[in-house]
């Protein structure tokens, strides 16, 4: 049933599809377009209908037609093709059969070790087949595991007509990791009643809440004067930058928050006496608290400008996405269906808020409710990323069971 799952996944992850934030093209990298064409060819070979690559948004879409005459909702499954900003060149996945909870040497020469001492969750996978990196790259399970799981689930449905299902729509898109992939998603053309991103972490994750998110750029204008005659004249932009950051709540940072707690995250600080810039991201699950965080940054700027008697500090804030839970909570059908599918398979659902966002957060606000399902991977975006064969099989099984349950309940 799952014979093609691991070969498919290993083939995908060895293709470098890292996105590029500074690119002006769609997708942001040519390798994503090439990968999209490869996926389109594979979907056609499997026998799916309406296989299309959209040059305007970089998405590959396809349809698995219903095999029942019952009136069943059309369900979408979505995953992203790009990988994060970590080395993705020359990926060499390593397979460790019958893992027994020991530390795994990823790279002996560089002394890179994946250890339960650092990552206790490894103990959850004793007896399973572990897939890791060689310690020099990420793995790319985020989100090529999701793509492999969706396509494997389609293959299962195609080969077993006893599993009744409605129309299934799939979409594989670009540039999720740089936050712009879903901006051009064609909800109307996708034509689904609801959907799921398959882009989560450990087995059982089911997420319909995410952060409200914004980016903030703080630009500070100083005044450079020779230090020997600077008294009463010099305004050091770097010192002002430090003062701005110090005025933010010190405990409301990523390293001191969890669950639904929001934060301010300083990503970058650079400059000199004459000018400085601070780049932040702002996050909160609660929309009112999110608005208050935005106002806090503006208030600090106003206070500093008043102190210095001129507009030295300018804050530019741009919203990125909003908490999809605001929409999905109004009708929990899509969540309850996935929850029941997991329970039917003996998987304990872990319904937790995402401390981040997915393409589903934007797509939900476009009118298509799209919570997030697990892929089974852990430690995404770095050299310690891993996934197990058994976790991927469970993810594919959940997709199949969601399709089956939707038809059964119609």
Cα 405–chain centre separation: 26
Cα distance between the two ends of the chain: 26
β-pairing, 263-271 vs 386-388, is unpaired
124: DSSP letter: G
176 is catalytic: yes
Tell me the C-alpha distance between 106 and 320, whole Å.
36
3-state secondary structure of 193: coil
Catalytic residue among 167, 176, 209, 378: 176
Tell me the C-alpha distance between 358 and 351, whole Å.
15
Q: Which of 85, 199, 210, 206 is nearest to 142 (CA)?
A: 199
Q: What residue ranges in 19-163 does DSSP mark as E strands? A: 49-53, 60-64, 75-80, 94-96, 104-107, 112-114, 130-132
Q: Is 288 exposed, middle or buried (0-12, 13-18, 19+ CB in 10 A)?
A: exposed
* Interacting residues of 188 by C-beta distance below 8 A, sequence separation 6+: none
401 is catalytic: no
Whether the CB-CB separation of 252 and 260 falls below 8 Å is answered with: no
Q: Which of 67, 282, 76 is nearest to 159 (CA)?
A: 67
Q: What residue ranges in 33-157 does DSSP mark as E strands? A: 49-53, 60-64, 75-80, 94-96, 104-107, 112-114, 130-132
Structure tokens at 351: 């319904």
CB atoms within 10 A of CB 111: 9
Catalytic residue among 20, 42, 82, 175: 82
Q: Is 202 exposed, middle or buried (0-12, 13-18, 19+ CB in 10 A)?
A: middle
Structure tokens at 396: 């594919």
Taking CA atoms, 77 is separated from 149, 157, 159, 395, in Å, by 10, 14, 19, 12
- Residues annotated as catalytic are 82, 176
């Amino acid at each position: 049933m799952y014979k093609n799952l691991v070969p498919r996944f290993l083939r995908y992850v060895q293709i470098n599809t890292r996105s590029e934030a500074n690119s002006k093209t769609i997708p942001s990298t040519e390798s994503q377009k090439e990968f999209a064409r490869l996926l389109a060819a594979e979907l056609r070979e499997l026998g799916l209908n309406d296989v299309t690559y959209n040059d305007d948004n970089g998405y590959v879409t396809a349809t698995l037609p219903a095999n029942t005459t019952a009136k069943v909702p059309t369900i979408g499954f979505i995953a992203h093709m790009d990988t994060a900003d970590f080395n993705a060149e020359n990926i060499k996945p390593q397979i460790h059969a019958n893992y027994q909870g020991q530390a795994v040497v990823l790279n002996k020469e560089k002394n890179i070790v994946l250890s339960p001492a650092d990552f206790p969750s490894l103990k959850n996978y004793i007896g399973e087949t572990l897939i890791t990196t060689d310690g020099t790259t990420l793995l790319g399970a985020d989100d090529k595991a999701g793509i492999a799981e969706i396509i494997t689930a389609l293959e299962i449905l195609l080969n077993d007509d006893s599993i009744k299902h409605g129309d299934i729509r799939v979409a594989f898109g670009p540039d999720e990791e740089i936050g712009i992939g879903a901006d051009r998603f064609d909800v109307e053309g996708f034509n689904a009643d609801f959907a799921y991103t398959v882009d989560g972490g450990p087995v059982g994750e089911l997420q319909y809440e995410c952060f409200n998110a914004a980016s903030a750029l703080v630009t500070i204008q100083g005044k450079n004067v020779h230090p020997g005659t600077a008294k009463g004249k010099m305004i050091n932009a770097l010192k002002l930058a430090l003062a701005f950051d110090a005025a933010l709540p010190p405990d409301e940072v990523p390293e001191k928050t969890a669950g639904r707690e929001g934060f301010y995250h300083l990503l970058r600080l650079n400059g000199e006496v004459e000018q400085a810039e601070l780049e932040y991201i702002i996050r909160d699950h609660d929309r009112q608290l999110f608005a208050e965080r935005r106002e806090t940054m503006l208030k600090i700027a106003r206070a500093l400008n008043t102190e210095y008697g001129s507009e030295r500090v300018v804050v530019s804030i741009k919203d990125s996405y909003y908490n999809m839970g605001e929409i999905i909570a109004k009708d929990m059908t899509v969540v309850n269906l996935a929850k029941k599918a997991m329970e039917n398979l003996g998987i304990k659902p872990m319904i937790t808020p995402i401390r981040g966002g997915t393409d589903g957060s934007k797509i939900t606000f476009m009118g298509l409710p799209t919570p997030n399902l697990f892929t089974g991977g852990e430690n995404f975006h770095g050299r310690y990323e891993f996934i197990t064969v058994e976790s991927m099989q469970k993810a594919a099984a959940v997709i199949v069971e969601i399709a089956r349950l939707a038809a059964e309940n119609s």
